């Protein structure tokens, strides 16, 4: 019988992820006050976010491997302490380069210590309802735009940006560190040698064989193109709406609606993945995502933006947790952190492409429409790549027998 403590792991993962993601993505809230007070360029401050994505990519597989070796608790706890400390130090930065390194490099690397280890941990705690479990953790992370972003905005109205960021660092420490102490290694890994917890057909697979396998490479490529598909639309749609004549306040609400819809998408896709199979639902979701982001190119009124935001938010947020489910179904539990970290690395690299490429497209064409067309093409590529995924040959008969 599966242990009831597994739901504590889900709650802890959702809370830690919400605070970590929210802290990193609070930078746009601080952007204008920072530029006005320090004289630093908006581009220079924004570069900290690009550095953050690259740091997440570089650190994801490292943190995942460490969680496989030492367990998720010390890794997530370390990430929580480093994130809170980095925010506090960034609030004291006296130069732009210092801020870019402290906020971008350290906060980005610390955030990576949360995602892969927690997803790997949750998949190990669940044999049934696994899709729902990882979707709930992801939903917690998705709460960041509706919780941490308004909190940061409220703080910056009553304090200067340094004081507001320092308070945010304190809140992160108070919430994340105790929650990290609740994290435990899955019982099957605590009770037995790692190899004994895996299917017999997988027990002899080494980490090196796993990361060189076509299955791992396929999942990395699919996640890269998947994240590249929605990164540009996520970053540039508010600006696109403003160029269509929509007031800024209303344009920002498009992003909020997209985030709210994503909450339901995570739960819906998780339940569907449990019922119909994670890969099947993910392929369908990637195809729908491609046409969803393309729809932005054909809207110009607020109502149209809202309608597309509901669709796109539901789909792109819903697809993301299913990668962890597919990984758990195909790779040994003892290396979940490494494998999920590798796909997270690819996803972070995909996310880093959208802001830059979208800006280049607009600068050269004077329109965001080509960006949405390009995103559609990337989405089709992600769909085709994942459709080629095949389980390890030794697992296919086992899955068929289980069905």
Q: Are residues 161 and 297 in the same domain?
A: no
**pLDDT value at residue 297:** 94
Q: Which of 13, 95, 112 is nearest to 53 (CA)?
A: 112
> How far is the CA of 139 from the CAs of 265, 281, 320, in angstroms?
9, 18, 10
Report the distance separating Cα 181 and Cα 177, nearest Å.
7
Whose tokens are 């945010």? That residue is 168
**pLDDT value at residue 194:** 44
Report the distance separating Cα 31 and Cα 219, nearest Å.
35
Q: Are residues 61 and 183 in the same domain?
A: yes
Cα atoms found within 13 Å of the Cα of residue 400, Cβ hemisphere only: 7
Residue 312 has pLDDT above 70, yes or no: yes
- The last residue of one of the domains, among 191, 208, 235, is 191
Structural domain contains residue 399:
no
> How far is the CA of 161 from the CAs of 25, 249, 252, 320, in angstroms?
15, 21, 21, 32
Beta strands in 147-203 (DSSP E): none
- pLDDT tens readout for residues 18-44: 999 888 888 877 877 888 899 888 778
> CA angle at residue 341 from 335 to 347, to 5 degrees?
145
Helical (H) or strand (E) element with 389: none
Q: Are residues 256 and 135 in the same domain?
A: no
- Domain with residue 123: its CATH number is 1.20.1250.20
- pLDDT tens readout for residues 162-184: 999 999 999 999 999 999 999 99
Structural domain contains residue 330:
yes
- Region 104-121: mean pLDDT is 90
- pLDDT tens readout for residues 336-368: 889 988 998 999 889 878 877 887 888 888 888
**pLDDT value at residue 397:** 38
Does residue 234 contact residue 357 with C-beta atoms inside 8 Å?
A: no
Q: Are residues 127 and 54 in the same domain?
A: yes
**pLDDT value at residue 359:** 78
Tokens, residue 22: 């929210």
Neighbours of 103 (CB within 10 A): 27
Tokens, residue 188: 């099957």
pTM for the model: 0.77
Q: Are residues 8 and 157 in the same domain?
A: yes
More confidently predicted of 315 and 151: 315
Does residue 317 contact residue 261 with C-beta atoms inside 8 Å?
A: yes
- The last residue of one of the domains, among 173, 191, 209, is 191
């Amino acid at each position: 019988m599966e242990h009831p403590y597994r739901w504590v792991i889900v709650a802890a993962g959702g809370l830690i992820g919400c605070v970590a993601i929210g802290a990193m993505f609070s930078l746009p809230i601080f952007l204008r006050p920072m530029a006005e007070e320090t004289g630093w360029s908006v581009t220079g401050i924004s570069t900290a976010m690009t550095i953050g994505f690259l740091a997440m990519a570089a650190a994801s597989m490292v943190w995942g491997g460490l969680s496989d070796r030492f367990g998720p608790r010390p890794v997530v706890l370390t990430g929580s302490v480093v994130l809170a400390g980095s925010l506090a130090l960034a609030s004291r930065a006296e130069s732009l380069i210092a801020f870019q390194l402290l906020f971008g490099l350290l906060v980005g690397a610390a955030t990576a210590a949360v995602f892969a280890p927690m997803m790997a941990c949750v998949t190990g705690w669940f044999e049934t309802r696994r899709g729902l479990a990882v979707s709930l953790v992801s939903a917690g992370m998705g709460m960041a735009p509706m919780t941490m972003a308004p909190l940061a905005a409220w703080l910056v109205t009553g304090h200067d940006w340094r004081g507001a960021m320092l308070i945010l660092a304190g809140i992160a420490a108070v919430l994340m560190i105790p929650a990290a102490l609740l994290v435990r290694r899955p019982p099957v890994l605590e009770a037995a040698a790692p190899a004994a917890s895996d299917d017999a057909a997988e027990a002899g697979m080494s980490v090196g064989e796993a990361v060189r396998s076509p299955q791992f490479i396929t999942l990395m490529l699919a996640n890269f193109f998947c994240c590249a598909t929605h990164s540009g639309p996520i970053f540039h749609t508010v600006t696109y709406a403003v160029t269509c004549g929509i007031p800024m306040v209303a344009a920002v609400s498009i992003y909020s609606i997209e985030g709210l819809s994503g909450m339901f998408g995570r739960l819906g896709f998780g339940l569907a993945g449990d019922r119909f199979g994670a890969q099947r639902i993910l392929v369908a979701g990637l195809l729908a995502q491609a046409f969803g982001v393309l729809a932005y190119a054909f809207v110009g009124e607020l109502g149209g933006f809202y309608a597309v935001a509901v669709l796109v938010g539901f789909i792109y947020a819903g697809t993301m947790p299913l990668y962890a489910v597919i990984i758990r179904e195909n790779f040994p539990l003892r290396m979940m952190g490494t494998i999920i970290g590798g796909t997270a690395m690819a996803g972070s690299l995909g996310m880093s492409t959208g802001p830059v490429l979208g800006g280049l497209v607009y600068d050269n064409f004077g329109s965001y429409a080509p960006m949405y067309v390009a995103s559609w093409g990337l989405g089709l590529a992600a769909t085709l790549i994942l459709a080629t995924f095949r389980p390890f040959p030794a697992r296919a008969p086992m899955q068929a027998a289980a069905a």
